[in-house]
Amino acid sequence: MTIEEAKKVGSNQALKSVGIGLLIAQLIMTLLSSDGGFLKELLWFTHFGHNLNLAIGAIIMLISGYYFGQRAGYEILIKKKDYTWVGFKYGIIILMTTAFFASWTGFFQEGIRLMGTNDNPFIDYIYKPLFWVFIFVLFPVLIVGFWFGKQIKERDF
């Protein structure tokens, strides 16, 4: 297998894994929504008020998945590293990259006005989202990351 083929396999599998991750996030938010009625809960994002943040986050996650998926494919298929931990590592990297860059959307929308006040917008809009995203999705990323690495490994000819 060539390096280019390994990168292509990695990016394709990463995009599939990102799709699964977004589906899991949708299911979690649907279960946490208590607006009454299945349709309202399923469409929680229509009354969430931060749709721009969600859209930017999804776009960043897809871009990160494509880029870091190539690196995972290279590590698993060319360097022959352990696929489970490489998949998990890049799952975390994709997630944290997404959370970090998507958090800046909220910072520029709301937090920048709070600069120089008693509030600390960097803590509120950058650090806290990273912390809570890491805590809440560590287990799903572990599962999807292992699956992601295994899917890459299975494409090894």
Higher local confidence (pLDDT), 46 or 86: 86
For the segment 121-140, what is each residue's pLDDT rounded down to a tens digit?
A: 888 888 988 998 889 888 88
pLDDT digit string (tens) for 95-124? 999 999 998 888 887 777 777 677 788 888
Closest to 126 measured CA to CA, from 146, 102, 148? 102
Does the structure show a pLDDT above 70 at 35?
no
Question: Rounded to two decimals, what is the model's pTM?
Answer: 0.85
Range among 29-43, 63-77, 119-133, 137-151 with highest mean pLDDT value? 63-77
Distance (Å, rounded) from C-alpha 67 to C-alpha 109? 27
pLDDT cut 70: percent of the chain above it:
93
Angle between the N-to-C axes of helices 128-154 and 51-73, in degrees from 0 to 180, rounded to the nearest 10: 40
pLDDT-derived band at 74, boundaries 50, 70, 90 = very high
Average pLDDT, the chain: 87
